[in-house]
């Protein structure tokens, strides 16, 4: 009997809020959450073998074409936040990641999503899934 459960590929990492990331109110400036998404995405890539360096070694870059961020609670200087980064499978030649950031008490602080496309070494948009990415998805059971 087929399962309706989708395989989740995620990675959880931590960041410590630095003083320079806070605003005059003493909370993390809203724009820094996008950087936290990148921190989570880079940690995910290193853990699961799909880092930016591995993409570049295969002749591709993957710029972000869309990002969204929904703020729930603030983080403050010195907080150690947990970032859960989850890969969202897609048949298209793109990478979709979802993020959930939690404060030290485990409360949801922020959630978001980014979408990245693939550009070849000439800077041309890849309309088909690059071979290295198809192999990665197969290795990951997607």
Q: What is the mean pLDDT of residues 74-96?
A: 97
Q: Is 97:41 a contact under the CB 8 Å cutoff? A: yes
> In which band, very low, low, confident or very high, does the pLDDT at 5 lie, cut at 50, 70 and 90?
low
How far apart are the C-alpha atoms of 82 and 67, rounded to whole Å? Answer: 19
Q: Tell me the percentage of the chain whose pLDDT exceeds 90.
A: 94
Q: What is the pTM of this model?
A: 0.92
**Which residues touch 41 (CB under 8 Å, ≥6 apart)?**
85, 97, 99, 114
Convert the pLDDT of each residue in 110-133 to its tens digit: 999 999 999 999 999 999 999 999
């Amino acid at each position: 009997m087929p399962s309706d459960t989708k395989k989740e590929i995620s990675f959880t990492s931590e960041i410590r809020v630095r003083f320079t990331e806070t605003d005059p109110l003493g909370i993390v400036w809203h724009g820094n959450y996008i950087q936290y998404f990148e921190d989570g995405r880079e940690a995910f890539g290193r853990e699961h073998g799909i880092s930016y360096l591995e993409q570049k070694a295969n002749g591709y870059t993957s710029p972000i074409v869309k990002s969204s961020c929904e703020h729930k609670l603030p983080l403050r200087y010195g907080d150690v936040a947990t970032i859960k980064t989850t890969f969202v499978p897609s048949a298209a030649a793109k990478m979709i990641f979802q993020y959930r950031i939690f404060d030290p008490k485990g409360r949801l602080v922020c959630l978001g999503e980014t979408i990245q496309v693939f550009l070849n070494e000439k800077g041309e948009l890849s309309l088909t899934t690059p071979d290295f990415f198809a192999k990665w998805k197969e290795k990951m059971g997607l």
